[in-house]
Structure 1
Amino acid sequence: MPRKPKRKAPASPAAHGTSPEPYPSHASPSPAQCLAVRDALLGFHGFPEEFAPFRRLRLGGRSPEDCSCDSPPPPSPTVLDGIVTTLLSQNTTEAISRRAFASLKAAFPSWDQVVDEEGTRLEDAIRCGGLAATKAARIRAMLRGVRERRGKICLEYLRELSVDEVKRELSQFKGIGPKTVACVLMFYLQKDDFPVDTHVHRITKAMGWVPVTASREKAYIHLNNKIPDDLKFDLNCLIVTHGKLCQTCAKKMGGIINGCWCFDKRLQNLATALAAKGFCKAVVQ
């Protein structure tokens, strides 16, 4: 008797970019909380220069203060540039990852050359960014996958897709994990998404926005469900910046700034709520 063909298991929701809410009874953050923290951090830090070019792209190429409507918008990085830059940024600083990307582009004028090269030139080109062997393998595997699936190394078609469609497309390429996808969505495709890095994970747990036991994966799902789309970009950039600059939040002594935004007198109500959770107990000097 011939065997019945096996039925394929249904794909998990995460594979299609949607996942069930992991904490349905966890109400925070509310839209009001998101707005309050965004405004508080913006008032204390200002908008970080590191992310200003991406903000201008989201605003049609101009900053909110730019009154010169005749000025041309800045050039937008390609989607592939964004993916490779994000892969290079892992476990290093923004300045070092930029230097590694510039070195890569100088050594390989085209992405096809990266795929076809069989030696260690790619590793050598990005060595200044650390983890050169691991990053080189991921970059080459991703580029090879794009060429095999698309016939050429180009992902500009992703700009026309929805967030869920982009997640589904990028999940098919080796070397691209969920955090890389989220960063590409927010920074290079100007989509409304909220990546969760170590700073965001730590600070949102401290504020009670996610349970203290939440993994980064579950925190990502919950925060993207709760945070209003129009606040995601600014709030993410500001929390990341605060995590880097606040000596208490970053758990480092001799930080770049004295004290913490939570203890600004203008923010006493917010400070009380956060201090009750043991968050940002820095001493203003």
Structure 2
Amino acid sequence: MTPSISSKISPCDDQPCRVKVLTEMYTVIKGTELLLEVIQPNSLSEIHFGEYDPERKKNAFKTLIATILSARSKDETTIKVVDGLWNKYSTPEEIAYAPLENLEKLVYSSGTYHQKAIRIKETSKIIHENFHNQVPDTLEELVKLPGVGRKVANCVLNISFNKDVIPVDTHVHRISNRVGWVKTNNPEKTEKGLEKLFPQSSWKMINYTLVSFGKKICKPINPLCSECPINKKCLKLIKIPRKSKKALK
């Protein structure tokens, strides 16, 4: 039975300690090439937080479309899909007026291709017609676009506009609860909780660090606790995904 947070005292209950833990996580996984880093114009093998490349702003549209297409798709697959799409259409205007069937073929391998094709087409049209081909740089405007929720919007704000935000995906949500930083049941509550727990200067590195950490060490099932640098600072509140319980019996 998974213990509740209230039954344990967190071994890391102050801000300096949490920042240290985050830094220890980052040290182990730095250099991991995630989707939104690989597609940048000047992709780095190692992220240097605090150093912002202005070219990333010019790449905001590609970052936005890639993030929409990445839903329920592996990074490797999404990278290939985005490369194929950009070889044919690479501007808001081009995608907005491309035949839907062409877009469906190009994004087919990313899954739910019909829905994704519609979303990137509608989003591109709005950006072309309402924003003069420039991706908006506010959460309020981004979340109005088809297929764009808080996570997608915050990814674009983080990567392309260098804003202090915390994109929360399944890895960030899972690890934040597993370690014992938050006790939340949805990503938005996790985002708000992390904003209170970490100084704003650390927000930009949270998503990259926890996503990479979740892929390499703190996996959903059978996390590699013996290899984890924060083993003694983690409450290990491990919940087995519902669909996997039978397989583990």
Shift of 1:77: 4.5
Q: How does 1:44-63 map to 2 (within 5 A)?
A: 44-50=28-34, 51=37, 53=44, 55-56=47-48, 58-61=50-53
Q: Does 1:127 align with 2:133?
A: no
Equivalent pairs counted in the alignment come to 221
Specify the alignment match of 1:13 in structure 2. none
Distance change >3 Å, CA 75–CA 149, structure 1 → 2? closer
- SS for the counterpart of 1:55 is coil
Q: Distance in 1 between matches of 2:94 and 2:52?
A: 33
Identity over the aligned pairs, expressed in percent? 21
Distance change >3 Å, CA 125–CA 226, structure 1 → 2? same
TM-score by length of 2: 0.76
Specify the alignment match of 1:154 in structure 2. 134
Q: Distance in 2 between matches of 1:238 and 1:116?
A: 37
Distance change >3 Å, CA 139–CA 58, structure 1 → 2? farther
What is the RMSD computed on CA atoms of the aligned residues? 2.9
Q: Distance in 2 between matches of 1:148 and 1:120?
A: 22
Specify the alignment match of 2:247 in structure 1. none
Q: Distance in 2 between matches of 1:56 and 1:40?
A: 15
Q: Distance in 1 between matches of 2:225 and 2:22?
A: 20
Q: 1:272 aligns with which of 232, 243, 247?
A: 232
CA contact (8 A) 1:100 1:125 kept: yes
Shift of 1:197: 0.7
In our comparison, the structure showing a higher alpha carbon Rg is 1
Q: Distance in 2 between matches of 1:175 and 1:112?
A: 18
Code of the aligned partner of 1:153: N
TM-score by length of 1: 0.67
CA contact (8 A) 1:29 1:226 kept: no
Q: Distance in 1 between matches of 2:55 and 2:130?
A: 30
Q: Distance in 2 between matches of 1:245 and 1:77?
A: 30
Specify the alignment match of 2:64 in structure 1. 83
CA contact (8 A) 2:56 2:159 kept: no
Q: Distance in 2 between matches of 1:143 and 1:92?
A: 21
Q: Distance in 2 between matches of 1:258 and 1:29?
A: 20
Q: Does 1:184 align with 2:156?
A: yes
Q: 2:187 aligns with which of 199, 216, 224?
A: 216
CA contact (8 A) 2:31 2:47 kept: no
- SS for the counterpart of 2:47 is helix
Shift of 1:278: 4.3
Q: Distance in 2 between matches of 1:201 and 1:240?
A: 10
Distance change >3 Å, CA 261–CA 149, structure 1 → 2? same
For residues 142-187 of structure 1, the C-alpha deviation after alignment (integer angstroms, 9 at most, x for no partner) is 112223323x3222x63xxxxxxx0122133222111100111111
Shift of 1:31: 2.1
Q: Distance in 2 between matches of 1:271 and 1:119?
A: 49
Specify the alignment match of 1:174 in structure 2. 146
